[in-house]
Amino acid sequence: MSGNFEGYRREYTAGGLTAEDLEASPIAQFEHWLEQAVKAGLSDPTAMSLSTIDSDGRPWQRIVLLKGLSDAGFVFYTNFGSDKAVAIAANSNVSLLFPWNELDRQVIVGGTAQRMSLAESATYFLSRPRESQIAAWASRQSRPIAKRALLEAQVQKLRDKFADGEVPVPDFWGGYRVKPERIEFWQGGEHRLHDRFRYTKDDAAGTWCLSQLQP
């Protein structure tokens, strides 16, 4: 199957973006845009594409959910045996993409992923729905499985095992915090004259530098 998609396009008309519109902190600016995405009714405003590079230098992407945000970085959780965690262990440089297409916006984050403390991961794990806790125990994430029925049987086995108490925090599961070094805000514009602004972290000064980029 093949196709030609050269003629598929639309105009971006949601509005422009200027330096005066932006907060001094990219984290504050991100929070502002995220709030607008939530109010606009986007189905998954906290969904982000996480890009990693494995030990062989091969890039890979997958959708994960943003679970925390502070000046220290962007937080997500996963199994430490997953492909993403194995790749991060080999190369901690990662990228995040928030594709808010309905608002003609995207945000790109570049930085390094660092494991969070056991206490932080435990606090979040214990706040999750019970079925999500059990699923974390049941799945050997990213590993092959002969058929789904085996996974479902493992879930039931764990339901029975933990039936009389709380589900403990797995030692193979936890959080990562992406410490941002670059954050770019993109706003679609008419005639492909998009607006792009990039914040770059000056670690020595502890400040963010803002520059406008050509589309």
8 Å CB contact between 50 and 64: yes
| Three-state SS at 81 | coil
| Three-state SS at 151 | helix
Residue with tokens 């954050």: 183
Whether residue 122 is predicted with pLDDT greater than 90 in this model: the reply is yes
Q: What is the mean pLDDT of residues 129-141?
A: 95
Mean pLDDT lowest among 31-40, 68-77, 136-145: 136-145
Chain segment 81-103, per-residue pLDDT in tens:
999 999 999 999 999 999 999 99
Report yes or no on whether pTM surpasses 0.85.
yes
Closest CA to 62 of 170, 54, 126, 173: 54
Q: How far apart are CA 76 and CA 69, in angstroms?
A: 9
Q: Active site residue: 128, 192, 196, 198, which one? A: 192
Q: Is 143 one of the catalytic residues? A: no
125 alpha-carbon distance from chain centroid: 17
| Three-state SS at 109 | strand
* Domains of the chain, start order: 19-126+170-213 (2.30.110.10), 129-168 (no CATH)
Q: How far apart are CA 3 and CA 213, in angstroms?
A: 32
